[in-house]
Amino acid sequence: MSISVGLKGRCETVVAQENTAAAVGSGLLPVFATPMMVGLMENAAVNAVSDHLAEGEGTVGTHLDVSHDAATPIGMKVWAEAELTAVDGRALTFAVTAYDERGPIGKGIHHRFIIQNEKFMAKTLRKLENN
């Protein structure tokens, strides 16, 4: 399979007490938390390319530059959309936008990198070894 500019992904949820700023510690109010919005954006990017990766490959997030522009109350549906805008070897760049039922709530750029899952995990788990 191949990764090409223009691939799109989406991820959605409903704002509940568990994903509010008050619950996750990113603020004190019962509104959709910025870290949860970022998670939706990352998931949308993953969804854009996951069916186009070779066996054993995955992607990891490496950079986010996003704004959270509008609050969303408990009970409202929220979603993120990602579009792959650049491919440079194994480096991927996405335009990401988050929405609620009233319109856009956030936007930005997200970078991911294609990795070999087993190799990546082996390297990561070596951190647990004694020096």
Q: How many residues does the structure list for the chain?
A: 131
Q: Which of 12, 13, 20, 42 is catalytic?
A: 42
Q: Which of 59, 68, 81, 110 is catalytic?
A: 68
Q: How far apart are CA 96 and CA 85, in angstroms?
A: 10
Catalytic-residue membership of 111:
no
Report the half-sphere exposure of 115 (CA within 13 A, side-chain side): 16
Q: Which of 12, 13, 20, 34 is catalytic?
A: 34
Q: How far apart are CA 35 and CA 32, in angstroms?
A: 9
Catalytic-residue membership of 68:
yes
Catalytic-residue membership of 42:
yes
Active site residues: 34, 42, 68
